[in-house]
Amino acid sequence: MPEDKPPTPAPPLVRPRPDDGQGAVVVERQTSKTEPPRMYQVVLLNDDYTPMEFVVMVLQEYFNRDLESATQIMLKIHHEGRGVCGVYSKDVAATKVELVLAAARRGGHPLQCIMEAA
């Protein structure tokens, strides 16, 4: 037969003391500065096979460049081997890289696009 244990007494009730008006409130002000997000540049790399027109189209479609600035960036890529398309937060830059690479694959082009810390 189970052994009967005496009931455990309930803990005593603790009631807050009424404020006598003499209490003081200390407020500590903490200043925390949020750092701006780290920025990344999206870079297109030159190759010998991707048509210049395709590069211009990518710059217009995915980086909102007008024809003149897209052509200037394309020529920089062609002559210097690389060109910065834009500077973005990490997530936006990564998304743009993936979109460009997918468009290049769909078009059958070996165009390479990378992101680097700005």
Ranges of each domain in the chain: 39-110
Cα–Cα distance between 86 and 41 in angstroms, integer?
A: 6
- pLDDT at residue 14 in the model: 67
pLDDT at 109 over 60: yes
**pTM of the predicted model over 0.85:** no
**pLDDT digit string, tens, across residues 42-61:** 999 999 999 999 999 999 99
Helix axes of 52-63 and 90-107: crossing angle, nearest 10 degrees: 140
- According to DSSP, residue 108 is labeled T
Q: Do 103 and 62 touch, CB atoms closer than 8 A? A: yes
| Identity at 37, one-letter amino acid code | P
Q: Among the CATH numbers 1.10.3720.10, 3.40.47.10, 3.20.20.140, 3.30.1390.10, which is that of 39-110?
A: 3.30.1390.10
- According to DSSP, residue 91 is labeled H
**pLDDT digit string, tens, across residues 74-104:** 999 999 999 999 999 999 999 999 999 999 9
Range of weakest confidence among 32-36, 62-66, 67-71 = 32-36
Residue 83's SS3 state is strand
Confidence of residue 30 (pLDDT cuts 50, 70, 90): confident
Closest-CA residue to 76 (of 118, 48, 46): 46
Cα–Cα distance between 113 and 86 in angstroms, integer?
A: 12
